[in-house]
């Protein structure tokens, strides 16, 4: 199984807006057409500057739907000026020539979310025609010269649909397919409760990824690890305490549409959030976070996760970030005394 979870290049994930043309059942940010929450460009450009100082070299912009963020071009241009690799994750429905053309020179990679055959995709998106619109716009992205990938959300019930997505990727010239386990956060935690893939489903998805990738000549990776991979990647997964650099314990840093900054994933306990960018610089938040001991709490959660998974490696595959996030909740609630994140 090829895993793509170890962020050897530290990544800043920005969700600049909660506005979206869809209200997908599996959305982990509870975005939708009626929502207007967004972070202003000035705040985000300061964040980008500070992020590079802290060691982050890759920018991923999602949402909401990033193509609805009016200042997206300015955000991407600033990231490029700072030497960051830029990725935009979109549902693809708005990637028309008029909208995509000005952005294309600023994007190193596009990722289009495709969640199965037309009927299944449209059902998750809760919009008839969503699949047709997204696939129809792939020609525009391809003509722009921007490499693009597909992202497939794996649930407990849809691994059979992965074959359709990989074949579609090969047909339209996608460079790879990334399989993400459903995150039990936001709208997904309510509307798809109980649909998070278990260890067997993750392992079967990994097998399918390997089989389909070899057969169709396209890279397919799953965000999951086998026990053997966990054993070999301990140094990359478990930071050394005491933590002195944010990137060591948070190789992924997420900025939500309300400007709250969280390490690793949205599922991590909110008590481990760095705080809000409104009225504070990212470098200040990072320094306060580390000095408060929260970095060591997260490092401990990583260490305990690895040790517990290796002590009884019965699961054929696990979602690493999901496992770590789950262990931040009992750690914070019962065994650690840490201050609340600065607002």
Confidence of residue 339 (pLDDT cuts 50, 70, 90): very low
pLDDT at position 331 is: 53
pLDDT at position 1 is: 41
Q: Render pLDDT for 10-44 as a digit per residue (tens, 0 to 9).
A: 999 999 999 999 999 999 999 999 998 999 999 99
Confidence of residue 335 (pLDDT cuts 50, 70, 90): very low
161 vs 227, residue with greater confidence: 161
pLDDT at position 333 is: 44
Q: Render pLDDT for 62-96 as a digit per residue (tens, 0 to 9).
A: 989 999 999 999 999 999 999 999 999 999 999 99
pLDDT at position 7 is: 55
pLDDT at position 340 is: 41
pLDDT at 336 over 50: no
Percent of the chain exceeding pLDDT 90 equals 83
Place of tokens 């693009």: 148
Q: How far apart are CA 146 and CA 251, in angstroms?
A: 25
* Per-residue CA distances from 295 to 40, 156, 265, 318, 319 (Å): 28, 33, 14, 23, 21
Q: Render pLDDT for 247-269 as a digit per residue (tens, 0 to 9).
A: 999 999 999 999 999 999 999 99
pLDDT at position 265 is: 92
Q: Render pLDDT for 175-219 as a digit per residue (tens, 0 to 9).
A: 999 999 999 889 999 999 999 999 899 999 999 999 999 999 999
CA 84 to chain centre: 17
pLDDT at position 5 is: 52
Do the bridges between strand 109-113 and strand 148-154 make them parallel or antiparallel, or are there none, so unpaired? Answer: parallel
Residue 276 and residue 193 in contact, taking contact as beta carbons nearer than 8 Å: no
Confidence of residue 149 (pLDDT cuts 50, 70, 90): very high
Tell me which of 7-11, 149-153, 327-331, 336-340 is least confident.
336-340
As given in the structure block, the two tokens for residue 309 are 């998974």
Q: How far apart are CA 126 and CA 285, in angstroms?
A: 38
pLDDT at position 6 is: 54
Q: How far apart are CA 267 and CA 185, in angstroms?
A: 6
* Four-CA torsion 65, 68, 74, 77, nearest 10 degrees: 40
Q: Which residues of 24-41 are buried (b: 16+ CB within 10 A; e: fewer)?
A: bbbbbbbbbeebebbbeb
pLDDT at position 334 is: 39
pLDDT at position 329 is: 87
The reply to whether CATH 1.10.630.10 applies to domain 1-343 is: no
As given in the structure block, the two tokens for residue 197 are 């893939």
Residue 60 and residue 89 in contact, taking contact as beta carbons nearer than 8 Å: yes
pLDDT at position 343 is: 35
pLDDT at 337 over 50: no
Percent of the chain exceeding pLDDT 70 equals 94
Q: How far apart are CA 260 and CA 279, in angstroms?
A: 11
Confidence of residue 8 (pLDDT cuts 50, 70, 90): confident
Question: What pTM does this model have?
Answer: 0.91
Q: What is the mean pLDDT of residues 47-59?
A: 98
């Amino acid at each position: 199984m090829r895993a793509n979870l170890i962020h050897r290049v530290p990544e800043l994930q920005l969700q600049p807006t909660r506005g979206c043309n869809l209200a997908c059942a599996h959305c982990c940010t509870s975005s939708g057409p009626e929502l207007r929450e967004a972070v202003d460009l000035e705040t985000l450009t300061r964040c980008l500057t500070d992020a590079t100082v802290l060691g982050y070299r890759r920018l991923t912009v999602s949402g909401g739907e990033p193509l609805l963020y009016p200042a997206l071009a300015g955000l991407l241009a600033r990231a490029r000026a700072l030497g960051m690799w830029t990725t935009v994750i979109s549902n693809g429905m708005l990637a028309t020539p008029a909208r995509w053309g000005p952005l294309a020179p600023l994007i190193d990679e596009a990722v289009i979310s495709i969640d199965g055959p037309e009927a299944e995709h449209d059902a998750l998106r809760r919009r008839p025609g969503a699949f047709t619109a997204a696939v129809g716009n792939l020609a525009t992205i391809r003509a722009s010269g921007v490499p693009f990938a597909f992202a497939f959300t794996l649930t407990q019930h849809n691994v059979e649909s992965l074959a359709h997505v990989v074949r579609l990727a090969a047909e339209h010239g996608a460079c790879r397919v990334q399989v993400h386990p459903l995150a039990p956060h936001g709208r997904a935690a309510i509307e798809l409760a109980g649909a998070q893939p278990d260890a067997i489903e993750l392992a079967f998805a990994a097998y399918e990824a390997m089989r389909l990738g070899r057969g169709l000549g396209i890279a397919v990776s799953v965000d999951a690890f086998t026990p053997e991979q966990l054993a070999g990647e301990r140094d990359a997964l478990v930071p050394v305490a005491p933590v002195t650099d944010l990137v060591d314990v948070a190789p992924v840093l997420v900025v939500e549409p309300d400007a709250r900054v969280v390490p690793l994933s949205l599922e991590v306990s909110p008590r481990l959030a760095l705080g809000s960018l409104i009225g504070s610089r990212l470098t200040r938040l990072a320094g306060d976070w580390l000095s408060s001991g929260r970095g060591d709490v997260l490092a401990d959660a990583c260490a305990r996760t690895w040790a517990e998974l290796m002590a009884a490696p019965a699961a054929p595959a696990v979602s690493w970030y999901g496992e770590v996030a789950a262990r931040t909740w009992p750690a914070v609630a019962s065994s650690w005394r840490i201050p609340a994140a600065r607002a």
